[in-house]
Amino acid sequence: MYNIKNFYLLDWLENTLNSNSIKNDYAPNGMQIEGDTNISKILFGVTLNEQLIKLAIKNKANAIITHHGLLNYKENIVVKGIKRNRLKLILKNNINIFSYHLPLDVHISLGNNYQLAKLLDLHPILCKNQLPLTYCNGLLWIGTSKKINNIKDLCILIEKKLNRKPLYIGPKNKIINKIAWCTGAGQKMFSDAIELGADVYITGEISESSVHLARENNVGFISAGHHATERYGVKALSQYIMEKLNIETQFVDIDNPI
């Protein structure tokens, strides 16, 4: 295994994830905190939190890459409370913090949507160029399953693969032909999925209004967990970096019931 420079890793990640093409994300993508120039081990997780930082320190990782990072454009910039605690640990231990939100949702091979489809054996509808047909700036995917054609079996599969029981709202005996999905907090795209003719929509979170949309449109809605549906993009990135850059990586799943 090799060491790499932190800004080399930043350039590599930006090129690999095409992060500079993403506009209007809720948080900065890329390096959020500069740490040690030389990186010998990278810890990966879904969301940056104190437990993940302490695990990085314990495992002598000098970089952390997450899907949900430390900084958020919409939050108060004052450094106090848990943000102060996290920053103190990061700066004291010279840890680089990288985060990729939308770039790690929409990427066609490393992204959360692709990785969830792979896990559940869903087959995205393809364009003429053989790339997945997507909507809502790449966040909404649509496809089929060659093995499952009913809600009951789909929910059983999701529970088995994601290790949590999904919440299902909608017709219980509906035959499934077309499936739409968006990992994480994708409940606002349920209307788009309905317009696209989906028989069922899979996402991480549910809102009160989602229930009425499902019932009144006779379309299934599956809330499979925000964390649970977004483990797999950052996990795939961890494996990919290890293979391509020959650097030690470790994915840590700090579970979250939401």
pTM listed for this prediction: 0.96
50 in a known ligand binding site: no
Query: Which amino acid, one-letter code, is at 63?
Result: A
Range 132-152 average pLDDT: 96
Phi, psi (degrees; rounded to nearest 5) at 107:
-60, 135
Tokens of 3: 């060491």
Q: What is the pLDDT of residue 2?
A: 86
Pairing between strand 140-145 and 179-182?
antiparallel
126: β partners: 132
For 219-253, the pLDDT digits (tens) are: 999 999 999 999 999 999 999 999 999 999 999 99
67 in a known ligand binding site: yes
Enumerate domains of the chain plus CATH numbers.
4-101 (3.40.1390.30), 109-226 (3.40.1390.30)
Q: What is the pLDDT of residue 23?
A: 87
DSSP 99-122: E-STHHHH-TTTSHHHHHHHHHTE
Range 36-47 average pLDDT: 98
123 in a known ligand binding site: no
Q: What is the pLDDT of residue 245?
A: 97
Tokens of 235: 């996990």
68 in a known ligand binding site: yes
Asked if residues 204 and 186 have their Cβ atoms less than 8 Å apart, the reply is yes
Q: What is the pLDDT of residue 217?
A: 98
Whole-number percent of the chain with pLDDT over 90: 95
105 in a known ligand binding site: yes
Range 175-185 average pLDDT: 98
Range 69-94 average pLDDT: 96
Range 11-34 average pLDDT: 96
84-88, 126-130, 164-168: least confidently modelled range: 126-130
Q: What is the pLDDT of residue 98?
A: 99
DSSP code, position 187: G
Q: What is the pLDDT of residue 85?
A: 98
Pairing between strand 122-124 and 140-145?
antiparallel
